[in-house]
Amino acid sequence: MEVIPVFDAIGLANGYNQGRNKSDAKYKIYRHNLQVSVKVVEKINVE
């Protein structure tokens, strides 16, 4: 797991784009506060 903090974003979309551009991960989870809730609704095979 990789955490990429973004502190200087001028807006939410800008911050997400900055984080996205700093990672080459296939799957990403974005959050904009100190808590994140993720619910797995279907198990998938990730390769």
Instruction: Convert the pLDDT of each residue in 4-24 to its tens digit.
Output: 888 888 988 898 899 899 998
Report field, pTM of the whole predicted structure over 0.85: no
Confidence of residue 35 (pLDDT cuts 50, 70, 90): low
Query: Domain span at residue 40?
Result: 1-47
Residue 43 pLDDT > 80:
no
* Structural domain count, the chain: 1
Query: How far apart, in whole angstroms, are the C-alpha atoms of residue 41 and residue 22?
Result: 28
Mean pLDDT of 27-42: 68
pLDDT of residue 1: 79
Tell me how far apart the alpha carbons of residues 44 and 41 are, in angstroms, rounded to a whole number: 10
